[in-house]
A and B are shown apart, each in its own frame.
Chain A
Amino acid sequence: MYLGIDVGSVTTDAVLLNDEKKIIAFSIVKSGFDHRAAIDKVINDICIKAQIVREQIKSVVSTGYGRRNVTEANKVVTEISCHAMGIHFLAPNIRTVIDIGGQDSKVIRISEDGYAETFYMNDKCAAGTGRFLEVMAHAMEIDINDLGAIALTAKKAETISSICTVFAESEVISKIAEGKPKENIIAGIHQAIGERLMGMVAAIGVKMPVALTGGVAKNQGIKKALTKYLGEDIYKPEEPQIVGALGAAVFALDHYLNEINTDKNSESENKK
């Protein structure tokens, strides 16, 4: 078994692959304050789901911003490479990934063999990230999980700043005060994220088809906003949150096979 662990700012995700490169199980837990506890929890959880013991895991690759905390990792790979490889595993025709995480967003252009060609990440500002949605959901007093569905019911989108989360929040509050329909404000929020992400897409140049990954990809409003800007449908994996961990699992399998090959080669050298 080969394990990929993605320690993100909001969740820690794990994916387990078997020798046939099939997904055996996956798990998503909250990262919380204690990354080590989250890592232990996600490993235990995935072992239970796959009905294996830890010792059956031959190789581990960690990724995500807390990747250095995975002491079990045989290798550490950045989430840029992992997202590229993860989406390639699921849909090999994809050439661009838009990953929207809790604290950062990135756009990755992918080669035919699943490696990242180039990428662009958001700067220090949270605009265009999951954090932006959290702030807006709080301002609107709406559960973040309901935002996307509400956005889809809007007749028009109100204009909201895509430049700064703080500006956008005060704009949202003004729109509420003006009595604008809730769904139109929420659609505007999604449009603002879409604008911000399209700026990042334009910075590296888009290659179609495009996939959407990360926890925020579950939000239908974001997908709709991006689809409108791109003018083409966007591929969203069934479970977009685990794509980074999946890529890490693919690298874990590769790493194991490379190690085996290296050992075999050195053995045959020794025999000679």
Chain B
Amino acid sequence: MSNSFLSKLDLAIRYHESIGEQHMAYYLRNQLDVLRNITEHKKDYLVATYYVPGELLELLDVEVVYMERLAGLAAAWRIFDKPVSRAIAKGFPACSCSYQALFDLLIEEEIIPKPAGFVAMSYACSDAWTYCKVAAEKYHVPFYYIDVRKVSGNDQKLYLAKQLEELHQQLKTIFSVKTSIEDIIDASNEAQNIKEEIDVLRYSNPGNILDFFKLFPIYNDLGKKSTMEILKPFKNKLAVDISDDNRNTPKILWLGIVPLYKNSIISDIEKRLECKVVCEEMFDFGGVKLTYDTFYENLAQRIMCSRFFSLESRMEAMFKSVSDFGIKGIIHFSQRNCRFLPPMVPAIRKKVEEKQIPFVEICGDAVDPDFFNEEKAWNQLEYFNEQINGRT
């Protein structure tokens, strides 16, 4: 296995197997299989942005790589040293999102081959679809676009559903059909049912929420049968591992993503601040199930139910977590150059401070350690701890 990305993924799978984290091993194996198919077996693949429903693409005989997930994995395993600087040196705009910079680098440095097309949504951010459009032109491959207006209501749902259906029809003319819609619906709904059971276990002890945080991009795999192989052992493990030990430990809410090259920062915070960290739910789509007659509408509705669809829905969910888990303070990790979540910070800070909940914003970059000053972050976190514990 000459590709360092594949080798590191393989190593990670064996590591998770050895420590009894079968769910993580399965999850990573799925990713490894996709990478093998596109690199070693030269299978065509589409690049998709995070909110493009996996069920739609799983219907077709084409591999799918979710851009943010693959960039995240590459960051976690440090496939590149200084990824942003390297991408900029290759002409990537300096003000761009580093996820996209790293993903582009994976293609440019031939870790993965050029894709057969890009499928992008205007939600969550304009940067992602703009990158996909530019990249599609650069690699001379098709670009498929779905316009998501960030307004609620039935008209918007139908508008979005129509576009999803058209996309499906369009892709069917290029790629052969692999699975029936009925099978996809069954797999997706079953996965969501297991997810709901997992949530019951997780919410019974919020200290266990971190486990699922690592798995949240599994949202992209809801239509896959293999997703059950990941969720079932995870649920079983949670049921065995769950304990009440953390019930009385102060809880801190972590908003946003974590530095992927340093995700131990969460456990470090738990140790140093003597707390349990509850991570913001990334996999939160209102539990919308799919039916055959309303397949596209359900997919559209699910996107619109995302907690990040509006500032108000994110704040509502945040304050629900504050009350459900007795949150003592809130940390927001703001991704450098991100135009999606960090712009919400001033409004969140204002509301949180009105309720006299200590709040700290840690700025950095989730995929490139060059843009994260850990020492400064700890300085801020120590002050945050002083605030929580009676100011000094």
Residues of A within 8 A of B (CB): 65, 75, 77-81, 104, 115-121, 123-124, 203-205, 251
With contact pairs A81-B391, A81-B392, A104-B376 given, residues A118 and B383 touching in the complex (Cβ less than 8 Å): no
Of the candidate stretches B148-156, B210-218, B345-353, the one touching chain A is: B345-353
Contact of A205 among B345, B350, B376 (CB under 8 A): B350
How many A-B Cβ pairs are below 8 Å? 50
Instruction: List 10 A-B residue pairs with CB atoms under 8 Å apart, sorted by A's residue number.
Output: A65-B379, A78-B386, A81-B383, A116-B383, A118-B353, A119-B380, A119-B383, A123-B336, A203-B349, A251-B392
**Candidates A65, A120, A121, A124; contact of B372 at CB < 8 Å:** A124
Q: Which residues of A are found within 8 Å of B76, using beta-carbon distances?
A: none
Identify the closest chain A residue to B370 (Cβ): A124
**Which residues of B (345-387) have their CB < 8 Å from a CB of A?**
345-346, 349-350, 353, 359, 361, 363-364, 371-373, 375-376, 379-380, 382-383, 386-387
Q: Are A80 and B373 in contact (CB under 8 A)?
A: no
In the complex the two chains form, what is the Cα distance from A75 to B392 in whole Å?
Answer: 10
Which A residues are CB-close (under 8 A) to B387?
Answer: 116
Chain B contacts for A80, CB-based, 8 A: 379-380, 383, 386
Contact A77 B376, beta carbon cutoff 8 Å: no
Distance between B301 CB and nearest chain A CB, rounded to angstroms: 35
Other-chain residue from B349, B371, B382 in contact with A118 (beta carbon distance below 8 A): B349
Q: Is the CB of A121 within 8 A of B353?
A: no
Measured between beta carbons, the chain A residues less than 8 angstroms from B373 are: 123-124
Shortest Cβ gap from A119 to chain B (Å): 7
Q: How far is the CA of A78 from the CA of B349 in the complex (A)?
A: 21
B380 touches A121 (CB 8 A): yes
Q: Is the CB of B350 within 8 A of A121?
A: no
Distance in angstroms from A96 CB to nearest chain B CB is: 14
Minimal beta-carbon separation of A100 from chain B (angstroms)? 15
Chain B interface size range = 20 to 34
Query: Are A77 and B386 CB-contacts (below 8 A) given A118-B359, A121-B376, A124-B376?
Result: yes
State whether B386 touches A123 (Cβ < 8 A): no
Q: A65-B375, A78-B382, A81-B383 in contact; A115/B346 too (CB < 8 A)? A: no
B382 to chain A, nearest CB (A): 5
B binding-site residues for A, Cβ under 8 Å = 336, 345-346, 349-350, 353, 359, 361, 363-364, 371-373, 375-376, 379-380, 382-383, 386-387, 391-392
Contact yes or no, B380 A77, CB < 8 A: no
- A59 CB to closest chain B CB (Å) equals 13
| B392 touching A77, Cβ below 8 Å | yes
Which 3 A-B pairs have CB atoms at the shortest separation, nearest pair first? A78-B383, A80-B383, A124-B373
Q: Which residues of chain A are within 8 angstroms of B386 by Cβ–Cβ distance?
A: 77-78, 80-81
Contacts of A204 in B (CB 8 A): 349
CB distance from A16 to the nearest CB of B (A): 19
Given A65-B379, A77-B386, A204-B349; A124-B371 close (CB under 8 Å)? yes
A123-B380 Cα distance, complex, nearest whole Å = 11
Partner of A123, one of B345, B353, B359, B363: B363
Cα distance, A253 to B379, chains bound together (Å):
23
Minimum CB–CB distance from B377 to chain A (whole Å) comes to 9
Contacts of B382 in A (CB 8 A): 78
Chain B residues lying within 8 Å of A120, measured Cβ to Cβ, are: 361
Q: Which residue of B has the minimal Cβ distance to A64?
A: B379
What CA separation (Å) do A123 and B362 show in the bound complex?
9
Minimum CB distance partner of B391 in chain A? A115
Give bound CA distance, A204 to B353, whole Å. Answer: 10
Write out the residue numbers on chain A whose beta carbons fall within 8 Å of the beta carbon of B391: 81, 115-116
Contacts of A205 in B (CB 8 A): 350
Give the distance in Å from the alpha carbon of A119 to the alpha carbon of B384 in the complex.
Answer: 10
Complexed CA–CA distance, A251 and B392 (Å): 8
Q: What residues on B are CB-neighbors of A116 within 8 Å? A: 383, 387, 391
Cα of A65 to Cα of B373 in the assembled complex, Å: 13
Cα distance A95–B373 in the bound complex, in angstroms = 28
Residues of A within 8 A of B379 (CB): 65, 78-80, 121
A79 vs B376: C-alpha distance in the bound complex, in angstroms?
A: 12
What's the nearest-Cβ distance from chain A to residue B259, in Å? Answer: 13
| A221 CA to B349 CA, complexed, in Å | 32
In the complex, the chain A residue whose C-beta lies closest to that of B382 is: A78
Chain A residues with Cβ below 8 Å from B375 are: 65
What is the distance, in angstroms, from B352's C-beta to the closest C-beta of chain A? 9
Q: Which residue of B lies closest to A76 (CB)?
A: B382
Complex Cα distance, B354 from A118, in Å, reads 11
Q: Which residue of B lies closest to A247 (CB)?
A: B392
Chain A positions within 8 Å of B345 at CB level: 203
CB distance from B348 to the nearest CB of A (A): 12
Known: A80-B386, A119-B383, A124-B373. 18 other contacts (CB 8 A): A75-B392, A78-B379, A78-B386, A80-B379, A80-B383, A81-B386, A104-B376, A115-B391, A116-B383, A116-B391, A118-B353, A119-B380, A123-B376, A124-B371, A124-B372, A203-B345, A203-B346, A203-B349
Chain A contacts of B361 at CB under 8 A?
120
- The chain B residue sitting closest to A104, CB to CB, is B376
A181 to chain B, nearest CB (A): 31
Which A residue sits closest to B371, measured CB to CB? A124
Of the candidates B350, B371, B379, the one having the most CB atoms from chain A within 10 angstroms of its own CB is B379
- Shortest Cβ distance from A78 into B: residue: B383
Residue of A nearest to B353 (CB): A118
* Neighbouring B residues of A203 by C-beta, 8 Å: 345-346, 349
Residues of chain A with a CB closer than 8 A to B392's CB = 75, 77, 81, 115, 251
Residues of the A chain whose Cβ atoms lie less than 8 Å from the Cβ of B364 = 123-124
Most buried by A among B346, B361, B380, B391: B391
CA distance A124 to B392 in the complex (A): 26
